[in-house]
Chains A and B, each alone.
Chain A
Amino acid sequence: MSFNDFWDVLILGAVLGSLYAVIAIGYTLVYGVLQLLNFAHSEVFMVGGFGGVIALTIFVPAADPSGLQSIVYVLLGILFGAALGGTVAFFLEKVAYRPLRRRGAPRLVFLITAIGASFFLYNLAGKLFGRNPMPMPQMYENKTVVTIFGSTLNITQTLILGAAVVMLVAVDFVVNRTKLGSGIRAVAQDPEVASLMGVNIDKVVSRTFVLGGLMGGVAGFLFGTTNQVFYTMGFLPGITAFAAAVLGGIGNVRGAMLGGLTLGLVEAFTVEVWGDAWRYVGAFAVLVLVLMFRPTGILGERVARTA
């Protein structure tokens, strides 16, 4: 592998990894407050993709958009993706998980509810929007933006990297610096004590879901711009992002970011060496190996410890 190849693959891996990181945050936040594997998060991601298509179908992009128009379209897509993702996550928590929390149901039951909700949501999306994939309407001409060591970075890749960095910084700020963040950390550490200290658990949990949903929705939109939108699109990225969250130390926000990036890079290099067919073998082998030596992931567990 030449130096140039290395940079090419590094860029591909970083772009994919930053998408995984954004999705993984959704898993990890929910896990932090509920110790729940929210399998339905992959459907929040999928809905975000459809949100982008809906936005760009309503505000039909001009055939030859100017720079300003392109920015508006992208922002609209992000906005709709986030809005739809957040809405679905909000109702998911309210309908599927809150009744279980009230009964103090064991966590495996949550898992099955999550699986059921996931089945329901993606099949419903397939029914409403058709089972064929849809393209994301074109918002700009995908030109090369910068060249680093002979490797190019085009607009879509820059967009994904940029949006991911902004979101990751924002979520890190929210978790560590805001009132909601301290609520999230308090609930993650000990829900009973937190509620005694006047934290409204219901509100914190609900907002955590919405926060994760917003990020998942944007990730869905971004995925749609570089791939396409279809009703089962959440499954594979969802599982990988879930693995990323575990790899970094589930419940740990910075861990999820690190885990996402790591898996993205591992995938890109696996594909470079062994081909696309072995993509997930590399990723999961790394996961299993890391967990063997660090049983709680790279950075360890829990939202609370990052503070």
Chain B
Amino acid sequence: MTTTETVREVSAAARLRKTSWYQEPRWRRLAALVGVAVVGAQVTGVEGTNRDIFYALKENFTSTGILVWLAVCVGIWVVREFVHTPLGNAWKTAKQTVKAPAGEVQAVWRKQFWLRVAILSGVLVFLIVLPLLVSRHWQQVLVDQIAIYVLLAIGLNVVVGWAGMLDLGFIAFFAIGAYSAAFWTGSLPVAPPMELNNFAVIPVAVITCLVAGVLLGAPTLRLRGDYLAIVTLGFHEIVYLGAKNWQSFTGGTSGARVERFSIDLGFWSYSWGLDPRPYYWLLLAFIVALLFLFIRLEHSRVGRAWTAIREDEVAAASTGVDTVRFKLLAFAIGASTSGIAGVIYASKLAYINSEAFIVLFSILVLAYVIFGGMGSLPGVLVGTAVLVWLPEFLRDSVPPQDRYMYLGALLVVMMIYRPQGLWPSRRRQRELHMAEEGTGGADALGGTAGGKQV
């Protein structure tokens, strides 16, 4: 390396790879952080006005906010570049010290059946008393949003997480369930053949959604992932526009007033009123029952068939798995779960209109499932709860208009740093790992995007 000849030899090749100072990773990281600072200053800046398109930009670039952002980002850069080694080492040691006991805990968890039962019952008891511990506002959030969306998410998890089908029209079945509740309790402008109690509507709604799911699924399930996505999206849009436009049947955007839940057993009767807690317990009962059912299903022949379809549909079919039947089954199970949620939703709010079923919600539920870690029930539960809770929590700390901007940013950042989701299932983790190495697909959509990076 010291002789002139070798230098010349290297430089010939190096000319091609010549990097200027600003192309060094260090300076590019600085540029990226400055970029983050500029965007961050816009995110936390002032609210713009449509009368002067430059108003917010001018304000944001001349206020102290951007200086603070720049200072923080450059500070991070300095720490990252110059105090990097000791910090990295400290992080490594911390990780190792945590990892060993965590592994032990995990091993114990897997071995000890009764311990698992005890902890799970503890969690359940905590969930049962939870509404007694929080304010009325959080009780409402728990019922109206968290519990409803958790119910939806575990249903969608069957379709997306287990059978690997991309469903962008999940809320359409939610709408069908809700309108079934309204129709059969005699709340729509059109009178039903006979009026039913809200609880009796649940099986009716399940059957309606099953039929709708099969009707939609049968001709379309042979479509591959992305085509199925747009077909389900189209189905959702058609259901939504039907609810909105067919005012003589659904009440359209003016909506319909729905009866609340009530039980009358002759010797004992109870009516659900304005208090959110009884709805919470009712929802919790449904969620726990469905979870139990779905866990049994996951480890049954059906669940294994879904896994096979998800990992390689052609191989599954060639080994004798009736792929169409099992896909249809997953689709129908998801749809009917969504229908149950719809009935409860309509009965809780005692009012529905078409605007409760917009396409955006289908997309949101999908985001919840994948955020949590698709295919993993605990992941889906936690992920949904966190993502629904977040905008409510942000109420106090950011302007309400901007809540969903932060949600979007969180989704991007989360997926970049933890694509497997909050709490991935072990099988999914392995599939992802295989996908990273390029030896297998991680979903039924086939392959990864853009192939493996070189």
Contacts and interface: CB of A to CB of B under 8 A. Distances in A.
Contacts of A243: 230, 233-234
B234 A130 contact: no
Contact of A120 (B48, B366, B412): B412
Interface string B200-231: 00000000000000000001101111110111
Contacts of B48: 127-130
B410 interface: yes
A33 interface: yes
Interface string A79-117: 000000000000000011101111111111111110111
Contacts of A95: 412
A277 interface: yes
Given A116-B410, A120-B405, A120-B409, A110 B449 contact: yes
B166 interface: yes
B448 A287 contact: no
Contact of B234 (A57, A100, A133, A284): A284
Contacts of A129: 48, 50, 53, 56
Interface string A126-162: 1111111110000000000000000000000000000
Nearest to A112: B370
Interface string B350-361: 000000000100
Contacts of A201: 450-451, 453-454
B234 A34 contact: no
Contact of B419 (A106, A288, A297): A106
From DSSP, what is the main secondary structure of chain A's interface residues? Answer: helix
A53 B404 contact: no
B443 A106 contact: yes
A131 B401 CA distance: 10
A116 B408 contact: yes
Between A35, A128, A129, A284, the greatest number of chain B beta carbons within 10 A of the residue's beta carbon is seen for A128
A108 B416 contact: no
B57 interface: yes
Interface residues of A, number: 72
A116 B415 contact: yes
Contacts, number: 220
B235 A288 contact: yes
Contact of A103 (B231, B409, B419, B454): B419
Contact of B220 (A112, A285, A292): A292
A280 B227 CA distance: 17
Nearest to A54: B53
Contact of A239 (B233, B431, B445, B453): B233
A107 B453 contact: no
B160 A278 contact: no
A121 to B, nearest CB: 8
B81 interface: no
Interface in B407-421: 407-412, 414-416, 419
Interface in B228-257: 229-231, 233-235, 237-238, 241-242, 244-245
Interface string B36-59: 000000110101111101101100
Contacts of A5: none
Contacts of B448: 104-107
Interface stretch (B8-16, B103-111, B297-305, B434-442): B434-442
B415 A105 contact: yes
A106 B230 contact: no
A199 B407 CA distance: 37
A239 B401 contact: no
Contacts of B405: 119-120, 123-124, 127
A64 interface: no
B447 A35 contact: yes
Nearest to B232: A288
Nearest to B44: A127
A268 B133 CA distance: 56
B95 interface: no
Given A96-B412, A115-B363, A37 B220 contact: no
A103 to B, nearest CB: 6
Contacts of A134: 50, 53
A116 B227 CA distance: 21
Given A120-B405, A250-B226, A284-B234, A102 B415 contact: no
Interface of B: 42-43, 45, 47-51, 53-54, 56-57, 60, 160, 166, 219-220, 222-227, 229-231, 233-235, 237-238, 241-242, 244-245, 359, 363, 366-367, 370-371, 374, 401-402, 404-405, 407-412, 414-416, 419, 431-432, 435-438, 441-443, 445-454
25 contacts: A95-B412, A96-B416, A105-B415, A105-B419, A106-B432, A107-B225, A107-B447, A112-B366, A112-B370, A115-B367, A116-B367, A123-B408, A124-B43, A126-B401, A127-B47, A127-B56, A195-B451, A195-B454, A242-B230, A250-B226, A250-B227, A278-B241, A281-B238, A291-B227, A292-B219
Given A113-B412, A116-B367, 4 more contacts: A57-B53, A192-B452, A288-B220, A296-B227
4 closest A-B pairs by CB: A116-B411, A119-B408, A191-B451, A284-B234
